[in-house]
Structures are given as structure tokens and as C-alpha cells.
């Protein structure tokens, strides 16, 4: 069963999207299927890493009297989105999935480090090393 939806993409004429029934992969990923302008697509929902949110921006062009200006204003937010591949099911190595993994990892790498926590961890590891030497 498919459901047709019309989506207006900028200045382009409206395009018909047909959503098909999805399925679950062995790793638990839900795969969505759709047909867009006759092209078969498979997609998956991606949730943004904790602490991140997405913004929907509206472009506004104008003039300040002497030159053209462009500005953007936020019209909404989101915490997940669906990305689509042409003809192939989404996999863990897709670039967009890896980018979201990196964003989460980077936030941990760049967190401030508490000096007392570092000293406690060093002392703990030194104690573990001495225990191994004693055995």
C-alpha cells in the first residue's frame, strides 16, 4: 500500500512521494521505503546526539540600501530526521550516520577535565599496576 503526498521543494513543481511499507533489519534498524519522482529510495530515522538539536531555517533576502543582504531565521527545531539512500538500505557506515556518531564522540572528547578526577584516575591505575606486580 502506498500513500501519495505532494511536497513543494523551493521553486520546483510539486513532486509526488509514495511511501511504502518499511521493515526491520537484523541490527534493529527500521528501514523506510519510498518512491520519489519514480526513483526507489530506502531511508532510516536518525536521532541527533544528546545535547544537540536541529534548526529549520528560513532564508530572507533583502537590501540595506547599498547592497544585497541575506539573513536566516529559525522557524522550528527537530531532534531527529530521516535520511534516504537511492536503492540501497541504510547501513552503519553511511556518512550521515558516522557524522552523528562523531558529533556525540566529539562532545565527550572536548569536555572540560576536572583536575581532581584526573589525579584520582592516575592513583587508581598506579594501584592496579602495583597489584599486578605483587602477583
What would the pLDDT profile of 66-103 be if each residue is shown by its tens digit? 889 999 999 999 999 999 998 888 888 889 889 888 98
Residue 4 has pLDDT above 80, yes or no: no
Is 123 among the domain residues?
yes
Is 17 among the domain residues?
yes
Contact call for residues 4 and 15 (beta carbons, < 8 A): no
For residue 108, the model assigns a pLDDT of 82
Is 16 among the domain residues?
yes
Residue 84 belongs to a domain with what CATH number?
Answer: 2.40.128
Report the number of distinct structural domains present in the chain.
1
Alpha-carbon span 132 to 102, nearest angstrom: 35
User: If we measure between CA atoms, which residue out of 81, 82, 80, 95 comes closest to residue 32?
Assistant: 82
Is 117 among the domain residues?
yes
Contact call for residues 44 and 29 (beta carbons, < 8 A): yes
Is 73 among the domain residues?
no
Is 10 among the domain residues?
yes
Question: Domain containing 17: what range?
Answer: 3-52+78-134
Is 96 among the domain residues?
yes
Amino acid at each position: 500500500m502506498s500513500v501519495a503526498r505532494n511536497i513543494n521543494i523551493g521553486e520546483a513543481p510539486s513532486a509526488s512521494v509514495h511511501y511504502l511499507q518499511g521493515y526491520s533489519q537484523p541490527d534493529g534498524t527500521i528501514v523506510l521505503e519510498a518512491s520519489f519522482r519514480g526513483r526507489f529510495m530506502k531511508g532510516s530515522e536518525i536521532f541527533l546526539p544528546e545535547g544537540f538539536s536541529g534548526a529549520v531555517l528560513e532564508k530572507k533576502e533583502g537590501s540595506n540600501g547599498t547592497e544585497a543582504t541575506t539573513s536566516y531565521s529559525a522557524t522550528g527545531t527537530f531532534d531527529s530526521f530521516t535520511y534516504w539512500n537511492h536503492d540501497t538500505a541504510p547501513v552503519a557506515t553511511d556518512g550521515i550516520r558516522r557524522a552523528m556518531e562523531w558529533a556525540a564522540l566529539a562532545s565527550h572528547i572536548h569536555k572540560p577535565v576536572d583536575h581532581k578526577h584526573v589525579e584520582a584516575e592516575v592513583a587508581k591505575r598506579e594501584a592496579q599496576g602495583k597489584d599486578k606486580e605483587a602477583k
